[in-house]
Amino acid sequence: MSQAVDAVGLVELRPVVTVTVAVDHALAGRFLGDLHGRGTQPGAVRYGAGVEVDVAVPVPDLPGFEAWAAEATAGRAVLRRGAAGFVEVPV
């Protein structure tokens, strides 16, 4: 068993909520760049009439992320909380 743990490593499951951020095309590039700049990797990105970006946000960070997204888009983003889940984080 310890060989398997050594090979894979230990992870911790952390609770997250998927937040979908909807912005118009004019804001999408900057928003995605700002998202990467803060060290956050987006999930799915969907392009249509507007752009929707899914972001797995740690539960304790939800209020801060929502405030940041509003500030980063000058209040023009529409945020929708979605499914709760878990992400694996190396320990």
In sequence order, which residues have a C-beta less than 8 Å from that of residue 10 and are 6 or more positions away? 90, 91
Q: How many CB atoms lie within 10 A of CB 64?
A: 11
In the sheet that holds 45-47, the strands lie side by side as 45-47, 51-58, 11-23, 78-90
CATH fold group of domain 10-90:
Alpha-Beta Plaits (3.30.70)
Q: What is the 3-state secondary structure (H, E, C) of 44-73?
A: CEEECCCEEEEEEEEHHHHHHHHHHHHHHC
Sequential pLDDT tens for the chain (91 residues): 567 667 778 889 999 999 999 999 999 999 999 999 999 989 999 999 999 999 999 999 999 999 999 999 999 999 999 999 999 888 8
At 82, the amino acid letter reads: G
d(CA 56, CA 18): 4
Predicted TM-score (pTM) of this structure: 0.84
Domain ranges of the chain: 10-90
